A and B are shown apart, each in its own frame.
Chain A
Amino acid sequence: MNFEEYRAKPLLEKSGIAVPDSVLVQNADAARAAAEKIGKCVVKAQVPTGKRGKAGGIKLAATPEEAKVHAQAILGMDIDGYRVEKLLIEAQVPIARELYAAVLNDAGSRNPMILFSMMGGMDVEEVAETDPEAMRKIPVGITRGFDLAMARQALEGCGLAEMEGAVAEVLVRLYQAYRDYDAELLEINPLVLTDDKRVIALDCKLTIDDSAAPRQAELAEQAAPELMTALEAKAQAAGLKYIALGGSVGVLANGAGLTMTSMDAITHYGGKPANFLEIGGEAYTKAKIALSILLENQEIRSLLVNFCGAFARTDVMTEGLVSAWKELAPDIPIFFTIHGTGEEEAVKIVREQLGLEPFDLMDDAVKAAVAAAAEAA
């Protein structure tokens, strides 16, 4: 789950990290009114992507009139596929130096990692790539945690001088926020030192672990909407993952690994997969809704059903699928290959109810589905 800046910053504030005063607006007049209250401000597009600045979605305004003009230009803008509908009108701060700070899940160490750089700002990715020394990587043991002494030690020699203690405190609070909100990534870029010796978070990028949604329910409701097609959204509502792939051979398999393998085999034998859609794991009873989603794709010419049941019982999946198939009576051919848990019963259902013979080899089922799609094209 990703969060827009205006959702993420109040969380930082709650964790004790200073952020500028701001007002969220949805039209240019409100932007002007907010600027009148705030003074010199920044007009910031609220979309969940990191390319706002470069896309022209962040502008400085010295007067309320200027804020209004910028707001008019930015509202409705398309940034990285997202339409700008909200703006944050934020007070300008006197920047002395831009820093970078983040906490993220590090798969390699199976622990959190804190990143810190003296070279924050728009080009921090390039800085990290061209000068790895400029990005400090601070490993954290999850059971040990991260305290002020550790933070001070990690910042030693950075050149923060008398600001070291204040920045160390921000790192400790940032780590605590990462833990409190089950973040996968919590990033402040830039974290600024002001002329009057304050440490302020000017931006915040927050991604919360989808798996933690049940215990972060309140936050989950505030997550930014994901960019997806109508069918992808329908699948997600049903607890399924659907991705349109543009080809003509439909794929229905259980488990991500087997589904990707089915797509690979279709490609290998000269066809083009129409979709990724898997019903493994806890979703194995959802064959019916899965089929109806597949069939809404008008490009589909044949359907490959590849079940290899481990946890997912092939008899349960097949029963659901066959009854849906009979109900929806689609006008395309279907090709089965079924093995694993519940195999005998599943094969029997296909034979008796559809009068079809499942293929013993996946390759043969794939070849047949590819040939049928080519013929129908």
Chain B
Amino acid sequence: MIVRKEHKVLVQGITGKQGTFWSKAMQDYGTSVVAGVNPKKAGTEHLGVPVYACAVDAARDNRIDVSVMFIPPMAAKAAAIDACEAGVKLLVCLTEHIPAQDVMEMHAAAAANGVRIVGPNTAGLVTPGECFVGIMPAFNANVFRPGEVGVISRSGSLGTLVSLNLTQSGFGQSAFYGVGGDPMIGTTSRDALEILDADAGTKAVVLCGEIGGSAEESAAEYAAGMSKPVVAFIAGRASPPGKKMGHAGAIVSGSSGGYAAKRAALEAAGVAVADVPSQIPVLLKESLDSKAA
């Protein structure tokens, strides 16, 4: 789903330094934050919303559509399971460095409760002009502007750069979908492509991938059947193989997960691939023009 201003948002870890900073930024932008969680501050108020001991308690008093977690890695599993049991539709997990076996348990809880997880290690979701959930600079008008291009990115910083490039070239965005840099994410690039394909407000999609894993190859399979134009950029062409580049997902071993295979898969699916992010708007314009012609 694409986040909308009507969606009611719970912030787990709302009282912490980052939770406070970003919750305030979300509220100022138009996100409907209705409650927060901190077991030690249950019953108090923070940023004008009630604080609960857990998500299940918050959901008893409020309608919650989306929960976003500002939770440290070792506590993330319990918080995610709590959110799943609270019946949220969408759980945005920003936390990086959650132990992999905990991540597996989180996904199992999500599947059992019919919850979509975005992340872990995502920078979140932005619907320009409406709301955002996460840690993206939605409020920076140089970066995000309402429009018709959907943006998918494994990396928050690269997603910011690409959105900026689009805005600088006159393309606004219908939605930014940060899928996350971890190897085991709940919503893959392919899933996000499907979501944006189904969105009436999205006319074209930009996919920002990275070396490592097979997310781009899998997204390419879906893109092959899309009528909306898709333009991609894959980070890591100049990275040496076999090295972990910070994101747990961006590791290349042997030929699998490498740049060449990803680019070939995308191009075979009719996706235009940019060498540098600044080419994305150019390729996008070409794709849209050739479709209109």
Where the two chains meet, the residues of A that have a C-beta atom closer than 8 Å to any C-beta of B are 105, 107, 110-112, 141-143, 179, 182, 184, 209-212, 214-215, 241, 243, 245, 253-261, 263-268, 273, 276, 278, 280-282, 306, 308-312, 339-341, 343, 360-363
Do A309 and B246 touch across chains, with their CB atoms under 8 A apart? no
Give Cα distance in the complex from A179 to B100, angstroms.
Answer: 11
Task: Return chain A residues, CB-CB under 8 Å to B158.
Answer: 255, 257-258, 261, 308
User: Residue-by-residue, is B236-247 near A (CB-CB < 8 Å gives 1, otherwise 0)?
Assistant: 111110011111
Q: How far is the CB of B22 from chain A (nearest CB, A)?
A: 8
Contact of B160 among A212, A245, A310 (CB under 8 A): A310
Q: How far is the CB of A45 from chain B (nearest CB, A)?
A: 22
Contact of B142 among A256, A261, A343 (CB under 8 A): A343
The stretch from B29-37, B43-51, B149-157, B193-201 touching chain A is B149-157
Contact of A308 among B107, B160, B235, B275 (CB under 8 A): B160
Do B157 and A263 touch across chains, with their CB atoms under 8 A apart? no
Do A259 and B245 touch across chains, with their CB atoms under 8 A apart? yes
* Chain B positions 159-209 with a Cβ under 8 Å from a chain A Cβ: 159-161, 164, 168, 181, 183-184, 208
Give Cα distance in the complex from A171 to B271, angstroms.
Answer: 45
The stretch from B7-15, B132-140, B223-231, B284-292 touching chain A is B132-140
Do A255 and B104 touch across chains, with their CB atoms under 8 A apart? no
**Least CB separation from A256: chain B residue:** B246
Task: Return chain B residues, CB-CB under 8 Å to A273.
Answer: 238
Q: Sorted from nearest, which 10 A-B pairs have the closest CB atoms?
A: A257-B155, A255-B157, A256-B246, A257-B158, A258-B157, A311-B135, A310-B156, A212-B99, A308-B160, A260-B235
B87: Cβ under 8 A from any A Cβ = no
Query: Which residue, B98, B164, B183, has most C-beta atoms of chain A within 10 A?
Result: B164
Give Cα distance in the complex from A142 to B103, angstroms.
Answer: 10
Do A310 and B236 touch across chains, with their CB atoms under 8 A apart? no
Task: Return chain B residues, CB-CB under 8 Å to A142.
Answer: 101, 104-105, 108
Query: Which residue, B137, B140, B157, has most C-beta atoms of chain A within 10 A?
Result: B157
Give Cα distance in the complex from A105 to B137, angstroms.
Answer: 34
Give Cα distance in the complex from A142 to B243, angstroms.
Answer: 29
**Least CB separation from A254: chain B residue:** B157
Task: Return chain B residues, CB-CB under 8 Å to A184.
Answer: 100
Give Cα distance in the complex from A260 to B241, angstroms.
Answer: 12
A and B contact pairs by CB, cutoff 8 A, 6 listed:
A245-B240, A255-B246, A273-B238, A308-B160, A312-B157, A362-B276
Do A182 and B99 touch across chains, with their CB atoms under 8 A apart? yes
Task: Return chain A residues, CB-CB under 8 Å to B41.
Answer: none
Task: Return chain A residues, CB-CB under 8 Å to B94.
Answer: 311
**Least CB separation from A216: chain B residue:** B99
Give Cα distance in the complex from A309 to B213, angstroms.
Answer: 25
**Least CB separation from B234: chain A residue:** A264
Give Cα distance in the complex from A179 to B102, angstroms.
Answer: 10
B131: Cβ under 8 A from any A Cβ = no
Consensus secondary structure, chain A interface: mixed
Contact of B74 among A112, A214, A261 (CB under 8 A): A214
Contact of A258 among B161, B213, B275 (CB under 8 A): B161
Give Cα distance in the complex from A149 to B152, angstroms.
Answer: 43
Task: Return chain A residues, CB-CB under 8 Å to B181.
Answer: 256-257
Contact of B275 among A141, A255, A268, A280 (CB under 8 A): A268
B66: Cβ under 8 A from any A Cβ = no
B20: Cβ under 8 A from any A Cβ = no
Not counting A243-B243, A260-B239, a sample of 15 additional A-B residue pairs whose C-beta atoms are within 8 angstroms of each other reads A110-B107, A211-B98, A211-B248, A256-B245, A256-B246, A257-B210, A264-B238, A266-B238, A280-B157, A308-B164, A310-B160, A311-B22, A339-B140, A339-B143, A343-B142
Task: Return chain A residues, CB-CB under 8 Å to B109.
Answer: 143
Give Cα distance in the complex from A268 to B277, angstroms.
Answer: 11
Do A309 and B160 touch across chains, with their CB atoms under 8 A apart? yes
Task: Return chain B residues, CB-CB under 8 Å to A312.
Answer: 157
**Least CB separation from B213: chain A residue:** A107
Task: Return chain B residues, CB-CB under 8 Å to A261.
Answer: 158, 161, 233, 235, 276-277
Give Cα distance in the complex from A69 to B176, angstroms.
Answer: 65
Knowing A256-B155, A258-B155, the reply to whether A107 touches B97 (Cβ < 8 A) is: no
Knowing A111-B104, A141-B108, A268-B276, the reply to whether A255 touches B155 (Cβ < 8 A) is: yes
Q: How far is the CB of A360 from chain B (nearest CB, A)?
A: 8
Task: Return chain A residues, CB-CB under 8 Å to B73.
Answer: 211, 214
Knowing A215-B74, A266-B238, the reply to whether A311 touches B108 (Cβ < 8 A) is: no
Q: How far is the CB of B259 from chain A (nearest CB, A)?
A: 9
Do B137 and A215 touch across chains, with their CB atoms under 8 A apart? no
Task: Return chain B residues, CB-CB under 8 Å to A264.
Answer: 235-238, 275-276
B38: Cβ under 8 A from any A Cβ = no
Q: How far is the CB of A6 from chain B (nearest CB, A)?
A: 25
Give Cα distance in the complex from A143 to B159, angstroms.
Answer: 34
Give Cα distance in the complex from A268 to B278, angstroms.
Answer: 12
**Least CB separation from A311: chain B residue:** B135
Task: Return chain B residues, CB-CB under 8 Å to A110.
Answer: 103-104, 107, 184
Do B100 and A209 touch across chains, with their CB atoms under 8 A apart? yes
Task: Return chain B residues, CB-CB under 8 Å to A112.
Answer: 101, 104
Q: How far is the CB of A244 from chain B (nearest CB, A)?
A: 10
* Chain B positions 83-122 with a Cβ under 8 Å from a chain A Cβ: 94, 96-101, 103-105, 107-109, 112
